[in-house]
Amino acid sequence: MADNPTARLAHRAAALTGRRAAEGAGVRSVSVAVILETWSGPTQVSTSTLVSTSTLVLSPRPKVVSAGEEAGYFGGGNSAISGGRLIAGSYRIGPITLACATGGYTVAQLSPPGASNLRIYYFLAGDEFSGAGERFELTDVDSSRPHQVTITVRRTAQ
Amino acid sequence: MTSAFAALEDRLYDIMVNGRGVNGSLGSDALAKSIPVGRFRAARMNAPLRDTTYPSVDFDRAVFVEWLADADDPTINNPIDNPQHRVARVAICNAVTYGNAVTDFLLLTATEVAATVIDQPRQRALNDSARLQRALGNPDLLRGGAPLDPAPLACVREGGTTLEDMGGGRMLATTVYALRYQMDNATTYDP
Quote the ipTM score: 0.85
Instruction: Give the pLDDT of residue B97.
Output: 95
Asked if B144 contacts B153 with a C-beta cutoff of 8 angstroms, the reply is no
Outline where B44-179 has alpha helix (H): 114-117, 121-136, 139-143
Say whether B53 and A72 touch across the interface (CB within 8 A): yes
Strand pairing category for B41-42 and B62-72: parallel
Mean of pLDDT values over B178-184 = 96
- Which CATH class name applies to B4-75+85-183? alpha beta
Q: How close does chain A come to B150, measured CA to CA in Å?
A: 24
In chain B, the N- to C-terminal Cα span, in Å, equals 6
Residue B125's φ and ψ, nearest 5 degrees, are: -65, -45
Strand partners, B72: B86
A70 chain-B contacts, CB cut-off 8 A: 52-53
B17 chain-A contacts, CB cut-off 8 A: 45-46
> Residue A115 and residue A109: Cα distance in Å, rounded?
15
- pTM score, whole prediction: 0.90
Instruction: Give the pLDDT of residue A59.
Output: 95
Instruction: Give the pLDDT of residue B124.
Output: 96
Asked if B82 contacts B185 with a C-beta cutoff of 8 angstroms, the reply is yes
- Residue A72 forms contact with B (CB below 8 Å): yes
- Residue B10 forms contact with A (CB below 8 Å): no
- Residue A103: CB partners within 8 Å, gap ≥ 6? A16, A59, A97
Nearest CA in chain B to A88: B53
Nearest CA in chain A to B49: A73
Q: Best interface-test mutation with B: which of A45, A69, A85, A153 has the largest number of B CBs within 10 A?
A: A45
Convert the pLDDT of each residue in A3-12 to its tens digit. 999 999 999 9
- Domain limits, chain B: 4-75+85-183
DSSP A60-103: SPPPEEEEEEEEEEEEE--HHHHTT--EEEEEEEEEEEBPBTTB
Domain residue limits at A83:
5-155
Half-sphere exposure of A122 (CA within 13 A, CB side): 27
Convert the pLDDT of each residue in B103-119 to its tens digit. 888 999 999 999 999 99
No. of helices (H) and no. of strands (E), chain B: 5, 5
Instruction: Give the pLDDT of residue A21.
Output: 95
Convert the pLDDT of each residue in B118-138 to its tens digit. 999 999 999 999 999 999 999
Instruction: Give the pLDDT of residue B181.
Output: 97
Closest CA to B55 of A114, A93, A109: A114
Instruction: Give the pLDDT of residue A82.
Output: 65
B139 Cα distance to chain centroid: 14
Say whether B55 and A156 touch across the interface (CB within 8 A): yes
Convert the pLDDT of each residue in A79-123 to its tens digit. 456 666 778 889 999 999 999 999 999 999 999 998 999 999 999
Strand pairing category for A64-76 and A134-142: unpaired
Asked if A145 contacts A59 with a C-beta cutoff of 8 angstroms, the reply is no
Sign of the Cα pseudo-torsion (A76, A82, A87, A90, in order): negative
Structure letter (DSSP) for residue A131: T
CA-based Rg of chain A, rounded to a whole angstrom?
A: 17
Angle value at C-alpha A114, between A111 and A116, nearest 5 degrees:
160
Say whether B41 and A45 touch across the interface (CB within 8 A): yes
Structurally, chain A folds into a number of domains equal to: 1
Helix (H) or strand (E) holding B8: helix B4-17
